[in-house]
Amino acid sequence: MRLITRSLLLCLALCPSLALQAAPVQGLYRVVEPLPSEQADAREEGLRRAFDTLILRLTGRPEAVENQALVPLRKDPQQVVRQFGFQGERVVVEFEPAAVQRRLQEAGIPTWGADRPEILAWWLVEGSAGAQLIGDDQPGAAVLREAAQHRGLPLVVPLADLAEQLAVTADTLAQPTRLAEPSARYNADALLAVRVREGGGRWQADWRLRLGDQQTRGEVVGDNPEALADAVLRESLLWLAARFASRPGNAEALVLEIDNVDVSRFAETERLMQSLQAQLVGLEGTRLVYRLKADPAQVRAQLGLSALTEVPAEDAATGTEPSPIDAAAPPAAPAEQAETPDEPGLRLRYRW
């Protein structure tokens, strides 16, 4: 098996690889919170706020910090803090991932890993001078990115060039399906359409979030653009985490088959399997077999972000022929290595 894998990796050096749509969140366990002073009381309160922010990032459940197993930890978060420091009027806290995850598992709270849907944000701000779409190189983009980082979500800010400024209007945002054409160039997993208005010294946003054929919407208010952006991304986190977070007790032994894995797809498949902590245990032609322990519902949700298609059990049982593969596909392994291990556990089958 190691020889086969090394051979495939060697072939990949000569071929461009395709990127996964789901994006790993950088700095997931690093939290930045406002801190009015460096006095002991303010510092302890800052650490508690940072802890609350982290737990919400990882669970999507505001009530999680009230879990009895976490109450002592919330009173003294330094038990799971790797290091912390100050940047101006902010406290920067680096938490220890393994320690935090262990406490969440002991508490039986569902958690969400670092690989998360990439969100394309169409953010339209209406003012007295007219409407403006926030673009990648505009000052408002930094506000959106900071809010997304604070809530643990990978965010893409569009270019907002002339064509997009003309195409994305308030009417367009009200019908997310009309955003398909301008969004195609970004290849994101989810679309976030936000219409922002200011009035009476407050900011209001009507937002819609669409992921595949599922969508949600809401309204939030904030005292300033920063608070408003944070509120929108917080609501987005809660909705997405409800679909992807997995309860530790739901994990079970799984066997995952991926078919039609030609040379161009091998690196993409491996990156996806690494995010699931899956182990390669068999190879037969262009079919790879992995073993993992996870919640089946979470695995299906995560694979739903890729271009993989689940193969119904009845199709697999009747020997449905796989789709044509690239002529450059790696050769099948020798007969003594090509047999798929008889692995225990629920078997999920997918194909490119």
Closest by alpha carbon to 28, among 90, 97, 79, 88? 97
Going by C-beta distance under 8 Å and a sequence separation of 6 or more, which residues neighbour residue 217?
A: 206, 207, 208, 209
Query: Is residue 55 over pLDDT 80?
Result: yes
The DSSP code for 61 is -
What mean pLDDT do residues 207-232 have?
A: 96
> What tokens does 340 get?
């798929």
Token pair 């078919």 is found at 259
Compute how many other C-beta atoms are within 10 angstroms of the C-beta atom of residue 249.
Answer: 10
Query: Is residue 38 over pLDDT 80?
Result: no
H/E stretch holding 141 reads helix 139-151
Burial class (CB in 10 A: 0-12, 13-18, 19+), 101: middle
What mean pLDDT do residues 215-231 have?
A: 97
The reported pLDDT for the residue numbered 39 is 86
Domains and CATH numbers, the chain: 2-20+248-351 (no CATH), 29-107 (no CATH), 117-244 (3.30.160.100)
Each residue's pLDDT tens digit, 249-279 = 678 899 999 999 999 899 889 988 987 889 9
Lowest mean pLDDT, pick from 181-185, 210-214, 267-271, 339-343: 339-343
Rounded CA-CA distance 165/135 in Å is 9
Query: Is residue 5 over pLDDT 60?
Result: no
What mean pLDDT do residues 338-347 have?
A: 63
The reported pLDDT for the residue numbered 298 is 83
The reported pLDDT for the residue numbered 342 is 58
Query: Is residue 15 over pLDDT 70?
Result: no
pTM of the full structure: 0.77
> What tokens does 281 get?
């245990």
End-to-end distance of the chain based on CA atoms, in angstroms? 22
Each residue's pLDDT tens digit, 128-166 = 888 999 999 999 999 999 999 999 999 999 999 999 999
Rounded CA-CA distance 233/241 in Å is 12
Each residue's pLDDT tens digit, 279-329 = 999 998 999 999 998 889 888 888 888 889 999 876 665 554 444 434 444
Give the full edge-to-edge strand order of the sheet including 81-87: 30-34, 90-95, 81-87
Percent with pLDDT over 70 in the chain: 84
The reported pLDDT for the residue numbered 344 is 67
Compute how many other C-beta atoms are within 10 angstroms of the C-beta atom of residue 66.
Answer: 10
Token pair 């946003």 is found at 205
